[in-house]
Each structure stands twice: as structure tokens, then as C-alpha cells.
Amino acid sequence: MSHHPRLSVNVNAIAQLRNRRDLPWPSVTGLARIALEAGAAGITVHPRPDERHIRRTDCYDLAHLLRSDFPNREFNIEGYPTEEFLALVEDIRPDQVTLVPDLPGQSTSDHGWDTIGEADLLRPIIQRLHHPNATINPALAAYKVPDMRVALFVDAEPGVARAAATIGADRVEFYTGPYGHTFDVTDKAARLAELGLAADAARDAGLQVNIGHDLTLENLPALVARIPFAAEASIGHALTADALIYGMAETVRRYREALVPPRS
């Protein structure tokens, strides 16, 4: 059975659309359910301090949805590791916590951690997430509680990827924005080569590899062909935009298809 990256649907853009009005639609959990029923392997959220898209309540609602109705799918919560964020994930215990170096006001992620220079910051946080002291939220305690896997959001640099392994990370998620942003053929090939070499380094260091940011139906096939061993692709903005055209279920089907590498 061939391996290929699993699709985690980022529902931030759905929440942002909902938050334009004081109304409960589009429903974050409702569309997450459609995505999961269509075969998505998981759901990703990135709650920010100002709750401009995903709210804390969404995190709990999605945790209930996944644990009760889709126990074999994964919940990935990403964010900057403030004490408030760490307390949130300790309370919910998602399958994966992806740490990103975003400032509070950033509209979206645009760079990865310096895993060498910021090792002293990250190492104890990773250790805490692997061995949480706080107890899980009582409303979620009835379900199977997973160990939290820790991924670090990093740029496509082999040394940075290798350093992530030395400070205890389980995975890296490569920031694929520079690859997704460019439409110049030569530049795109260079960005793809960088991602490939960094992913090879991460794998050789014993890490699993995630990919995310500005991934589309058009640019996924070449990336997956180069990094077929990637574990997960987290996709939100383009997937949500495509869902306005094709519907969520059909869009998930298309992205799952795009994540299957071509047969050699």
C-alpha cells in the first residue's frame, strides 16, 4: 500500500467568514463534519489571541466532534506558545500541537522557527507538551486521550530541520509559502528543490514531515512527487476558496486526489 500525505483541513477561513456577522453560519463544525465525512484525515485550527477567526469555543466544539463521531481522525491546533495557548491545548489534548513563531497581530504565518537560536525557548515547551501537568477538560475526559505530538513550523533549511530533532520535536511542518507564492518556473523549481532537500534532512534526522501554506490543487502534485513521504498536508485558504466553487465534499475529494503521488 503506497504512502501519501494525509489531508488536514484548516477551517480558519470558514470561521473568519462566520465572524463577519453576529450569526452562527457558516458553521465551523458543520463544514468540518462534511470534510471529515468526505475523507479528510483531520482538522486544523489556529486560534489567535483576538479570536478574529477561530474562537476558543470552536476548539472545544471541534474536539467534541472529532472525539465523539470521528475518533480515528486527528485534531491539530497550531499557534504561538503563550501560556494561554499552552493551557488551551493541555485542556483539550489534541493529537498534534504545531508551534508557530507568529506575532499576535500577524494575518497569517510567514516564517518558521530558528530552531538553533531559539532552542532554549522551545525545548522546555516541547517537554511540557509531551508531559502535561494539567488535567484534561472533564467534558473531554470520557474519550480516549491521545498523547500530544509536537510539530515545529520551520523554513526549508536542512540545518533547522535537523536541530528540531535535537530539541525533542516529533515533526516539522515546512513553510511552503515561498513555493506556493511564485509562478516563475525557474524560481518554483528552486523552491521545490529547497523543500525537497530540507525534507530529506528531516526524515534522516528521524522526524516526520508535514507541509502547509499556500498549497493548491495546482502546486500540490509536484510537491508530493518530490516529498511522497510527507505525513500530512494542512490546507485552508485555497481549499475554502475551492469549496465555494465545488462544495466542501467535492473539494476534499479533489485535494485527497492531488495528494496521491504519481506512480513511478
Residues 187 and 206 sit within 8 Å (Cβ to Cβ):
no
pLDDT of residue 142: 85
CATH number of the domain that residue 246 is part of:
3.20.20.70
Total domain count, the chain:
1
Strand partners, 233: 7, 211
85 within domain boundaries:
yes
56 within domain boundaries:
yes
Other CB atoms within 10 Å distance of the CB of residue 76:
25
What does the pLDDT look like over 2-14, one tens digit per residue? Answer: 588 999 999 999 9
5 within domain boundaries:
no
83 within domain boundaries:
yes
What does the pLDDT look like over 114-130, one tens digit per residue? Answer: 999 999 999 999 999 99
242 within domain boundaries:
yes
Residue 131's closest CA among 171, 80, 168, 166? Answer: 168
Domain span at 224: 15-258
Residues 212 and 176 sit within 8 Å (Cβ to Cβ):
yes
230 within domain boundaries:
yes
Instruction: Tell me the torsion sign for CA atoms 9, 12, 17, 22.
Output: positive
CA distances (Å), origin 152, targets 193, 205, 228: 21, 14, 20
How would DSSP label each residue in 146-192? PPPEEEEEE-S-HHHHHHHHHTT-SEEEEE-HHHHH---HHHHHHHH
227 within domain boundaries:
yes
pTM of the model: 0.95
How would you write the pLDDT of the chain (264 residues) with one tens digit per residue? 458 899 999 999 999 999 999 889 999 999 999 999 999 999 999 999 999 999 999 999 999 999 999 999 999 999 999 999 999 999 999 999 999 998 766 556 678 999 999 999 999 999 999 999 888 899 898 888 779 999 999 999 999 999 999 999 999 999 999 999 999 999 999 999 999 999 999 999 999 999 999 999 999 999 999 999 999 999 999 999 999 999 999 999 999 999 998 775
Catalytic residues: 46, 78, 213
135 within domain boundaries:
yes
